[in-house]
Amino acid sequence: MKVIVIGANGNTATRVIQLLLHSPHEPLAMIRNVEQRAKFDALGVSTVLADLEYPIDHAVTGCDAVIFAAGSGGHTGKDKTVLVDHIGAIRSMVTAQRQGAKRYLMLSSINADEHSNSQIAHYHKAKALADQFLMQTDLEWTIVCPGGLRDDLGNGLVAVSEETHLEGITTRDNLARVLVGCLDLANTIGKRFSLLEGETPIDSALRSV
């Protein structure tokens, strides 16, 4: 499959791209800054310039699958949370439907909840509303909800659960392996699950969702 990775320059997405390079799938890195292109050129990965705050049809056309790993981050205002994590995400889903990219993997978050009263409720609400939109589309969706992200080396051992109101951490390594692993596992279609560090090998964990 040709897989567009949205937010490709991000910390998790960069790992996703590297895994896709060693998979049967062909990655396309969606970036929003031309200066980020050299990093992907060096890897031999195609890039496309696009921004979730604007139409992205030109980026998604010809793709079979979307991995959404973008996010406004903690250093922008609440307006960007709405524009990127909520509305930008929905834009990517509508575009995927329009362009015939049927498979859609969403990097969400534990505790995403439209009624959240957490310290980052604006973020948890935005992620929940995007997830809800996705679940009502006819896309072949999977929603992965990690805990606090860490850059430690992933050991390939995780805990997955339908319960997403949890506390815990997730390495970006393991998260990237799960996102790419889901592409080839039809049983993950139509599933939304939490992903924390745990004791189950990733492949077994994904086959159990």
Give the residue numbers annotated as catalytic, written as ranges. 123
Question: Which of 5, 9, 20, 27 is close enough to bind ligand NAP by CB under 6 A?
Answer: 9
> Binding to ligand NAP by residue 69, rule CB under 6 A?
yes
d(CA 130, CA 94): 11
- Cα separation, 121 vs 23, in Å, equals 37
Q: Could you give the C-alpha distances from 113 to 7, 68, 86, 161, 207, in angstroms and in order?
A: 22, 18, 12, 16, 26
Q: Which is nearer to ligand NAP, 120 or 157 (CB)?
A: 120
β-strands 191-197, 157-161 pairing: antiparallel
The single-letter DSSP state of residue 166 is -
19 or 187: CB nearest ligand NAP: 19
Pick from 120, 118, 165, 114: which is nearest to 135 by CA?
114
Binding span for ligand NAP by CB under 6 A among 38-46, 67-75, 184-192, 198-206? 67-75
The residue among 79 and 207 lying less far from ligand NAP, judged by its C-beta, is 79
Binding segment for ligand NAP (CB under 6 A), chosen from 59-67, 97-105, 146-154, 184-192, is 146-154
Member of 62, 77, 100, 148 binding ligand NAP (CB under 6 A): 148
Site string for ligand NAP, 79-118 (x = CB under 6 A): -----xx--x------------------x-x---------
Cα dihedral 43/154/81/135 (nearest 10): 100
